[in-house]
A and B are shown apart, each in its own frame.
Chain A
Amino acid sequence: MRDHDDLKKRLSELDDDIDQARGRRTNEESNRQRSSAIGYAFRLAIELVVGVCFGGFVGWLLDKWFETTPIFLLVFFILGLAAGIMNVIRTAHQMQTEFSDDPGSSETRDKSAKRDQDEDED
Chain B
Amino acid sequence: MAAATGADHGGGGFPDPMHQFEIHRLVPLKIFNIDASFTNSSLFMVIVILLISLFLFLSVKSRSLVPGRMQSVAEIAYEFVANMIRDNVGTAGMKYFPFIFTLFMFVLGCNIMGMVPYSFTVTSHIIITFALAAVVFIGVTIIGFAKHGFSFLKFFVPSGIPVFLLPLLVVIEVISYLTRPISLSVRLFANMMAGHTMLKVFGSFVIAMGFWGGWAPLIFLVPFTGLEILVAFLQAYVFAILTCIYLNDALHMHH
Chain A interface residues toward B at CB < 8 A: 36, 39, 42-43, 46-47, 50-51, 53-55, 58, 76, 79-80, 82-84, 86-87, 90, 94, 108, 112, 115-116, 118-119, 122
Contact partner, B255, options A36, A90, A119, Cβ 8 Å: A90
Contact partner, B176, options A36, A51, A76, A115, Cβ 8 Å: A51
Binds A, one of B41-49, B52-60, B114-122, B184-192: B184-192
- Mask, B49-90, CB within 8 Å of A = 1, is 000000000000000000000000000000000000011011
- Across chains A and B, the number of contacting residue pairs, with CB separation under 8 Å, is 71
Residue contact A50 to B179, C-beta cutoff 8 Å: yes
Number of interface residues of B (CB under 8 A): 27
Knowing A51-B175, A79-B172, the reply to whether A118 touches B252 (Cβ < 8 A) is yes
On chain B, the residues within 8 Å of A51 by CB distance are 175-176, 179, 183
Say if the beta carbon of B182 comes within 8 Å of chain A. yes
Residue contact A83 to B175, C-beta cutoff 8 Å: yes
Residue contact A86 to B238, C-beta cutoff 8 Å: no
Residue contact B179 to A84, C-beta cutoff 8 Å: yes
Knowing A112-B90, A118-B90, A119-B90, the reply to whether A46 touches B176 (Cβ < 8 A) is no
On chain B, the residues within 8 Å of A79 by CB distance are 168, 171-172, 175
Contact partner, B172, options A86, A118, A119, Cβ 8 Å: A86
Residue contact A39 to B234, C-beta cutoff 8 Å: yes
Lowest 5 A-B CB distances belong to which pairs? A115-B90, A83-B176, A83-B175, A50-B183, A119-B92
Q: Closest B-chain residue to A43, C-beta based?
A: B187
A46 to chain B, nearest CB (A): 5
Q: Closest B-chain residue to A82, C-beta based?
A: B172
On chain B, the residues within 8 Å of A112 by CB distance are 86-87, 90
Cα distance A94–B252 in the bound complex, in angstroms: 16
Chain B positions 81-114 with a Cβ under 8 Å from a chain A Cβ: 86-87, 89-92
Extra inter-chain contacts (18) besides given A42-B190, A47-B179, A87-B183, CB under 8 Å: A36-B234, A39-B231, A39-B234, A42-B187, A42-B191, A43-B187, A46-B187, A47-B183, A50-B186, A51-B176, A51-B179, A58-B175, A79-B171, A83-B179, A86-B173, A87-B179, A115-B91, A116-B90
Residue contact B252 to A115, C-beta cutoff 8 Å: yes
On chain A, the residues within 8 Å of B90 by CB distance are 112, 115-116, 118-119
- Can you report 13 A-B residue pairs in the complex whose CB atoms are below 8 A from each other? A47-B179, A47-B183, A51-B179, A53-B182, A54-B175, A55-B175, A79-B171, A79-B175, A84-B179, A112-B87, A115-B89, A118-B90, A119-B90
Residue contact B87 to A108, C-beta cutoff 8 Å: yes
Say if the beta carbon of B131 comes within 8 Å of chain A. no
On chain A, the residues within 8 Å of B191 by CB distance are 42
On chain B, the residues within 8 Å of A116 by CB distance are 90-91
On chain B, the residues within 8 Å of A108 by CB distance are 87
A72 to chain B, nearest CB (A): 12
Cα distance A112–B230 in the bound complex, in angstroms: 28
